[in-house]
Structure 1
Amino acid sequence: MLKFFVIKMRKVVDNVYIVKPFDPNVQGSCVYMIDTKSDDGLVLIDAGMDIELLRVIEEDGFDLKEIKHCLITHGHIDHYGACHKLKDFNKDIKFYVHELDAEDNELKIKDPYIAQIYANYKYEPVKITNKIKNDNEILKFGNYEFKCIHIPGHTPGSVAYLLETGGKRILFGGDLPGIAINIRGGDLDAYLKSMPKLLGLNLDILCEGHEDLIQPAEKVLKFIKAYMEFNKSLNIIVLKNPSDSKILLDLASLSFEVGFYENALDFCHYLLEIEPDNIKAKKLLEETSKYNPPKIDWIKNLINQTADSRDT
């Protein structure tokens, strides 16, 4: 476990930090922290899955006992799995999540697919202190106000938290680019209606759940728009035509453009299994490989698992 402490906490703006940055080799989402400089102590955005990774804040003089609030972006365990461990440090910590996803935090994992992935992970449900009900609800901690923007699609209760501080508009987006197609609680139509809410916010920084910080404003806009197209195309590949070479190449290209190189590599490999002589896929694979992304078999597994679930 100690080998992961080479990952250092980084400042986003004054009093706002990324505690656990993205690492494709480590389970769990990114974790962000706000020092409210008040009686409200420290606020986390998501908790990840490993409390030991959060101890990195101690190197900068912070104490896990001072984490008094945890805002959860949605009900997937890679974002809230460490919540029960946070209570070991502060039994009075308060947890916040949208009411439509609250059940996933308070009860056992219901999705068989998620349960299988994390079969060996021991999670203890926590009591949700505040179930967010209204779009644009405001949570205030010290002088910091978080606007809760309901963005269903990836899950029914996905929430993005908007914070204005240090002259920047910062959005903690959770799995904003996550799978938002019509499987496993996802809803493509809801997602495509949610994302335009964010496009008009004039965001400076996007703090994403499985990516590095996305900035400046132009890149944030490009990222959100790209993932709207990504999920539209992914829905076709997974649910309608898994061998559509044009759409697979589009997905690979989109992934490359936004820096999701492991996905770009995966789409290229899958496409070349279908069309071994696809010149564009070969060229993109060569370009993607320069970034040395980890090899994954995500798209093939997703297609096969979806097909299997339809057959049962």
Structure 2
Amino acid sequence: MNKPERVTEGVYIIGGPQITDERDCCVYLVDGGTELALVDAGLGYSTRAILENIEKLGLDNSLLKYVIVTHGHIDHIGGLHYFRERGAQVVCHELERNAVSGENPKLTAAWYYRVNYRHVPVDRLLNGEMQDVVVGNTVLHCLHTPGHTPGGISPYLDVRGTRILFGQDIHGPFDPSWGSNMELWRDSMRKLINLNADILCEGHFGIYKPAEKVRNYIEYYLDYHS
């Protein structure tokens, strides 16, 4: 397994297939100085390793304030209960609440991984096209990007002129049982392209940079699913 590593100033990759467990999504950490936030929580079997990886980076995991849920699939939310028990607030779009809170377990796709999901309450619901989450001295802009699921979000932040985009599951897959909508997905991908991000922190395949590679990655899947 690889070690956690710095993506750019204030952004780290601390979990994922090559770092914690092959079933985990890529788990990212945003360092806002006085507060920390995770972007997604993995499947749930690597939670202690994720916390340890924060410490390995020289950061204080007691500063973890938020887990930002990009969407409600089990490989992204399975660890929520662990981090919430340790004081982190769960943040997701209102259209993903039924998955995260356990009201509609089918939306988690836990059946696909043959694991059980320990549901949690949502501490902060996002709604509309865009809402910001302030993490210490950093602002995460949470853009609603439906398509893969109804309430998917793609957070991004700007650090010293560099735009970092957390674009989880750009590639799919898509299934009507969890609310996929290809027309909405294509619109969302165009939104992401228009952000002109310099770095893409993708949900399963890691880091893409510079901006040309980010654009090419998104456009590839737009063409693939056309």
**TM-score normalised over the length of structure 2:** 0.90
Range with bigger deviation, 132-141 or 172-181: 172-181
Q: CA deviation at 1:216?
A: 0.6
CA separation of 1:86 and 1:164: change in aligned 2, threshold 3 A: same
One of 28, 31, 34 as aligned partner of 1:32: 28
Aligned length: 222
How many angstroms apart in 2 are the aligned matches of 1:117 and 1:179? Answer: 12
Of Structure 1 and Structure 2, which has the larger fraction of its residues in helix? 1
The one of 93, 108, 112 equivalent to 1:117 is 112
> Is the CA contact 1:15–1:36 (under 8 Å) kept in the aligned structure 2?
yes
Structure 1 residue 68: Cα displacement = 1.0
Tell me if structure 1 keeps the 8 A contact 2:147–2:183: yes
Report how far residue 62 of structure 1 moved. 2.8
Structure 2 gap ranges (5+):
none
Counterpart mapping for 1:122-141 below 5 A: 122-141=116-135
Cα distance 1:62–1:22, how it changes in 2: closer, same or farther (>3 A)? same
CA distance in 2, matches of 1:231, 1:108: 31
> Larger Cα Rg: Structure 1 or Structure 2?
1
How far off is 1:109 after superposition?
Answer: 5.8
Matches within 5 A, 1:83-98: 83-88=80-85, 90=86, 92-98=87-93
* Match status 1:56 vs 2:50: no
Q: Residues 26-54 of structure 1: CA distance to partner in whole angstroms, max 9, x if unpaired?
A: 1110000011112xx21110011220330
What's the C-alpha RMSD, in Å, of the aligned pairs?
Answer: 2.1
Q: Deviations over 1:173-218 (max 9, x none)?
A: 1112222465642111111111111111111000010012011101
Q: Identity over aligned residues, as a percent?
A: 34
Residue 203 of structure 1 pairs with residue 197 of structure 2: yes
Query: Cα offset for 1:108?
Result: 5.8
Q: Is the 8 A contact 2:99 2:106 kept in 1?
A: no
Q: Is the 2:72–2:108 Cα contact (8 Å) retained in structure 1?
A: no
Runs of 4+ displaced beyond 4 Å: none
CA distance in 2, matches of 1:113, 1:140: 27
Shift of 1:125: 1.1
Superposed CA deviations along residues 273-304 of structure 1, whole A, max 9, x for unmatched, are xxxxxxxxxxxxxxxxxxxxxxxxxxxxxxxx
Q: 1:68 aligns with which of 65, 69, 80?
A: 65
Greater strand proportion: 2
CA displacement 1:221-261 (0-9 Å, x = unmatched): 111111112223xxxxxxxxxxxxxxxxxxxxxxxxxxxxx
Counterparts of 2:53 and 2:133, CA distance in 1: 26
What letter is aligned with 1:106?
S
Taking structure 1 as the reference length, what is the TM-score of the superposition?
A: 0.66
Tell me, yes or no, if structure 1 residue 8 matches structure 2 residue 3.
Answer: yes
Which structure has more relative contact order (CA 8 Å, sep 6+)? It is 2
CA contact (8 A) 2:110 2:117 kept: no
Letter in 2 for 1:205: I
2:74–2:110 CA contact under 8 A, matched in 1: no
| Aligned equivalents of 2:194, 2:148: Cα separation in 1 | 20
Report what 2:14 is aligned to.
19
For 1:111, what is the secondary structure of its paired residue?
Answer: helix
